[in-house]
Amino acid sequence: MTLTDHPTVTRDRWIADRKALLAREKELTQLRDRIAAERRALPWVRLEKDYVFDTADGPRSLSELFQGRRQLLVQHFMFGPGWEQGCKSCSYMADHLDGMALHLAHRDIALLVVSRAPLSELLRFRERMGWQFPWASSQGSDFNRDFHVSFEPEDRQDGEVYYNFHMTAFPQTEAPGISVFYKDDAGAVFHTYSTFGRGVEVMMGTYSLVDLTPKGRDEDGLSYTMEWVRHHDRYEDMPPAPASCCGADKA
């Protein structure tokens, strides 16, 4: 089925088909709610390492980055040492953060973006992109490797690394992800959840709207490589699409 050869029907037939699809959408909504409950019920892991990050306010531990809240949502942003700029797909994710930050704060959730590049490079890129969210450098700590979003040569076995909870042939030294942490009254920090691969689409609200349209993502033949995405200040010229910076295991 294509846009140029798409069926056209009467309004009554459209309503009938739409109601059938609505039933399926309700099934998906109910399944999503059940999975969300299962996610909240997952056991936690208490962090034993005292990770320290380089921030605009100086060195800070993970516990100090909760911004007075109990919950912390971290975007693992692909930006390695020496990179010219951050990953375009991670930038697409990050474009959604500033608008959500205030609302999340009122649900006791702080936002933090973490990358392995030096802080000066992160802040320079953040200024270029016009973002306001806090961005911390994990360079010099084990944070990225412990959460399996940065890979050293010794992490590869037969060309594969441990990513998205299994061994896979991920092509880059940095990978995208989202991790969630909770801090109790005693100051102990717990890792409660992480998602990788296509799981990071929860941060891409634009996709939810694109999925409502006839053309959709135009990615069916691209294995969801996001080749159409550009840094938001680079759409005008639209150079030939490069390979996705995070296109590996997309499931």
pLDDT (tens, 9 = 90+) of the chain, 251 residues, equals 678 889 999 999 999 999 999 999 999 999 999 999 999 999 999 999 989 999 999 999 999 999 999 999 999 999 999 999 999 999 999 999 999 999 999 999 999 999 999 999 999 999 999 999 999 999 999 999 999 999 999 999 999 999 999 999 999 999 999 999 999 999 999 999 999 999 999 999 999 999 999 988 877 654 567 888 999 999 986 555 455 566 544 44
Task: Please give the model's pTM, rounded to 2 decimal places.
Answer: 0.92
Q: Is residue 241 part of a domain?
A: no
Task: Give the closest residue to 176 by CA, choosing from 101, 85, 126, 250.
Answer: 250
Residues 29 and 90 in one domain: no
Residues 117 and 22 in one domain: no
Q: Is residue 208 part of a domain?
A: no
Q: Is residue 219 part of a domain?
A: no
Residue at token pair 């949502």: 73
Strand 135-137, strand 109-115: pairing: parallel
Chain Cα centroid distance, residue 240: 24
Residues 116 and 182 in one domain: yes
Domain of 135?
A: 45-203
Q: How many separate domains does the chain show?
A: 2
Task: Examine the fold and report which residue of 203, 219, 234 is the final residue of a domain before the chain moves on.
Answer: 203
Residues 156 and 66 in one domain: yes
